[in-house]
Amino acid sequence: MKEVTIYTDGACSGNPGPGGWAAILRYGSRERVITGAERQTTNNRMELAAVVESLRVLKKRCKIFIHTDSAYVANAFNQGWIEGWLKNGWKTANKKPVKNKDLWQNLLSQMDRHEVRFVKVKGHADNDLNNRVDRLAVEAMKL
């Protein structure tokens, strides 16, 4: 099974406001960069969109390590939030509807095809790929 390392990030001006997302996919010696934007969105939505879209472009089953500085995304899986939301009928522990349900559902369907692990990285630190994907998301937001 091919191993893929993915760095993702989202950016938003105003929150809500214009937003962008980016992902850098690396497998072997190959690299692919993807970006996108929405006119009226939130930062969390852009963080999720980056992950969803990065998985969507992979055609074959892969072992994937997704590096993200988004606690919202990483904690949903690494701390089991997603299981609780599913058990509670897409409601948080506070019984409020889960925001961005459409993207979470899309992400879960994409994850069914792959073996995925989330790696929480410190944002705006000394990780070159995280810094690069952040710049790409900000640039995408301006389109």
Catalytic residue positions?
9-10, 47, 69, 124, 134
59: tokens are 């055609």
Let me know: does 33 contact 22? Beta carbons within 8 Å.
Answer: yes
Contacts of 133 (CB under 8 A, 6+ apart): 7, 8, 9, 22, 23, 24, 50
